[in-house]
Structure 1
């Protein structure tokens, strides 16, 4: 979609975009305009489209990611006295991300499809998908396994996001403990964990956000792309570099607090379980 369409009114498209076969879709000038427009046209329900697969996807992704990440780290650290290097953390996180994506990609496809049901407006009967399970069944029936794994390739590139985040997080903890003249595995307080998680998340999002745009557009049921490079080419031609960072501010606002909470809970629960295990041994 071209720049003039992106800055236009709610449903306006220029002749170029219409000739490219794009369907009429909402246009937003920013996060506040987006929220007020969705509320006006679709009500509270519109603001919560895709919440079910997002909850399932986030829970499953974080759980699997931490499981695979710690298992891989433990395997690599076996027999070593020193801490893993930044590169080893990077590779471990990337491997964990790839394994997690293989399991959770269908959930993210359904989330994207549910969120992009803007044609139905406020009439639920016109919606293509009634919910997460309905979307999974219909996508599999019409598009097969291939449909459930749309966006998988850019998703694999997206494992660099988690890899960079975990590498930065682990490195920040090591450097901070070293600065405070403490052991590398010293437990931090809640505020320190929040700061480490927030900084690492913002760095990772800033560095890898374009892949999320490419993946979402591949999963969009309203457009047809021949592949990753087709998405990149058309996005660059119509929107320039700005197109690859569309939505980054609301994304950072949304994911950073969730990331901080997740890491604080994970670190404290892990510490509690380890101490509980030692006491019982």
Structure 2
């Protein structure tokens, strides 16, 4: 078998993937971050869906208690329950989102030329998130449901609050891109130039923490609407039941671990994305 120079192989790869560098970068980042952070994601879902009714599911006093009960029942591998849909959903979500988000920046900026860049980035985030939701909502439902008797419609449980949740990604990338643009201006280099690892680390973590904290209540509502262990409820009914049984704090259950999870998950995803897509763009 012939041995080809590394530069030739890299150039060939770039030509093959030309135009899809954001999708490949996002897909790669989604795979790595999911493999590393899946256990924390599982604990967040189990704890935030914990409504205080022992007749429906096991009750957890803390994240540690949740992890202890899962390991006692299923071993350490129990922390990786639902990995396949999470891995698939994470990779597809990031790949589609970043590809679409970056490809519509120019037309959106032209259409809304009177708006500042952060505002157009927010619009791009909402549009990209809405498109991705149409493809990935069934995958996320599969994480909390094993029933095969509810029909096709059940695959889109939680779709409405999920659409509202596109503001999460929109806020995150509005801040993330603004920080990158600011840093490029500070360094006197063009927009979208490659930055250092420390910059991506700090900007990805900060933007994610702000986005998670601001938009977290919708995630709790969406998780509970997708749970097959309870009777199907609409958005308003889910909110009413949570307020009646648990008070306003119900909408922030799991926020701590969600924020803790943002650092490794977001940093791994976006660092991988930035390295891969810049590699594919290099001439």
When normalised by structure 2's length, the TM-score is 0.76
Q: Provide the residue aligned with 1:263 in structure 2.
A: 270
C-alpha distance in 2, partners of 1:259/1:237? 34
Are the aligned partners of 1:86 and 1:167 in contact in 2 as well (CA < 8 Å)?
A: yes
Matches within 5 A, 1:34-183: 34-77=66-109, 85-113=117-145, 129=146, 138=148, 142-183=149-190
Q: Is the 8 A contact 1:23 1:222 kept in 2?
A: no
Pick the aligned partner of 2:252 from 230, 234, 245. 245
Which stretches in structure 2 are left out of the alignment for 5+ residues? 1-49
Supply the distance in 1 between the matched residues of 2:259 and 2:110 (Cα, whole angstroms): 36
* Residue matched to 1:212: 219
CA distance in 1 between counterparts of 2:237 and 2:115 reads: 42
State the secondary structure of the residue aligned to 1:143: coil
* Residues in 1 aligned to 2:168 and 2:156: alpha-carbon distance in whole angstroms: 19
Normalised TM-score (structure 1): 0.76
What is the distance in 2 between the residues matched to 1:86 and 1:177?
15
CA apart distance, 1:77? 4.7
Change (3 A) 1:102 1:81: closer
- What is the CA–CA distance in structure 2 between the aligned matches of 1:79 and 1:185, rounded to whole Å? 21
The answer to whether residue 192 in structure 2 is matched with residue 185 in structure 1 is yes
Which residues of structure 1 form unaligned runs of 5+?
1-12, 114-128, 130-134, 277-281
SS of match in other structure, 2:192: coil
Say if 1:56 and 1:253 are closer, same or farther in 2 by CA, change over 3 A: same
- In the alignment, the residues of structure 1 paired with residue 112 and residue 123 of structure 2 have an alpha-carbon distance, to the nearest angstrom, of 17
Q: Which has the larger radius of gyration?
A: 1
Post-superposition offset of 1:253: 2.4
Structure 2 CA distance for aligned equivalents of residues 84 and 190 of structure 1: 27
Find the aligned partners of 1:52 and 1:27 in 2 and give their Cα distance. 25
Quote the offset at 1:79 in angstroms: 10
Range with bigger deviation, 261-270 or 192-201: 261-270
Structure 1 residue 273: Cα displacement:
1.7
Runs in 1 of length 4+ with deviation above 4 angstroms? 77-84
Asked which structure has the greater RCO (Cα within 8 Å, sep 6+), the reply is 2
